[in-house]
């Protein structure tokens, strides 16, 4: 399951919306998934993966969901571009766990990680979790010169995503932008 290594990523607004909805649905735990598309770095789909740990600060791909995603990628003929995961209540940069070679033994910069910081602005976050996601709307903003990555608001939540190559104990950022 070798990934190709684009120098930047573009995410369609519809795919970004899907990732935001997933991050809200799985709040306060980390969500994760696979990003597939063209070798030039244009994401064409996000395949949701199951976080076997169901944990707010850690994730582990549940193997059956990973195999299903890889099978779907091959059937649909896309390149593997990378993976995304959320940081509930956290920042859109790699955590110490993300760049820990004891946890992520494959770290060599070959796989792109999109990290989605999600914050709740509700006074009662439990109430916002019960709110039906289908009634919320995403506002995906254009990338601005003063911020890196892409952003959205979804109900009581604000989200920001940035893309990285991960190495042991360090990371490099890639440009990440929205497209129609
Ligand atoms: Zn992380």
Cross-strand bridge partners of residue 10: 42, 177
Report CA(127)–ligand 1 centroid distance (Å): 25
Report CA(159)–ligand 1 centroid distance (Å): 14
Q: Quick one: 180 exposed, middle or buried, by C-beta within 10 A (0-12, 13-18, 19+)?
A: exposed
Report CA(20)–ligand 1 centroid distance (Å): 16
- Answer for the pair 105, 99: CB distance below 8 angstroms, yes or no: no
- Answer for the pair 136, 124: CB distance below 8 angstroms, yes or no: no
Q: What is the pLDDT of residues 14-57, one digit of tens each?
A: 999 999 999 999 999 999 999 999 999 999 999 999 999 999 98
Report CA(31)–ligand 1 centroid distance (Å): 10
How far apart (Å, rounded) are the C-alpha atoms in residues 74 and 97?
Answer: 30
Where are the chain's structural domains? 9-179
How far, CA to CA in Å, does 127 sit from each of 57, 67, 169? 21, 35, 38
pLDDT on residue 39: 92
Q: Enter the pTM of the model.
A: 0.86
pLDDT on residue 111: 84
Residue 144 above 80 pLDDT? Answer: no
Q: What is the pLDDT of residues 149-179, one digit of tens each?
A: 899 999 899 999 999 999 999 999 999 999 9
pLDDT on residue 180: 85
Fold of 9-179: Cytidine Deaminase; domain 2 (3.40.140)
Length of the chain: 180
Report CA(86)–ligand 1 centroid distance (Å): 7
Q: Nearest-CA neighbor of 6 among 111, 104, 76?
A: 111
């Amino acid at each position: 399951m070798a990934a190709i290594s684009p120098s930047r990523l573009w995410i369609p607004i519809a795919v970004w919306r899907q990732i935001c909805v997933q991050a809200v649905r799985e709040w306060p735990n980390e969500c994760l998934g696979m990003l597939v598309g063209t070798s030039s770095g244009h994401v064409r789909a996000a395949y949701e993966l199951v976080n076997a740990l169901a944990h707010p600060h850690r994730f582990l791909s549940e193997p059956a969901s990973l195999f299903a995603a890889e099978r779907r990628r091959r059937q649909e003929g896309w390149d593997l571009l990378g993976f995304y995961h959320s940081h509930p209540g956290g920042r859109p940069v790699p955590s110490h766990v993300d760049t820990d070679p004891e946890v992520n033994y494959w770290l060599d910069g070959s796989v792109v990680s999109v990290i989605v910081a999600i914050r709740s602005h509700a006074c009662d976050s439990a109430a916002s979790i019960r709110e039906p996601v289908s009634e919320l709307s995403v506002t995906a903003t254009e990338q601005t010169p003063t911020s890196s990555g892409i952003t959205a608001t979804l109900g009581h939540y604000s989200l920001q995503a940035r893309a990285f190559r991960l190495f042991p104990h360090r990371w490099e950022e890639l440009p990440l932008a929205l497209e129609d």
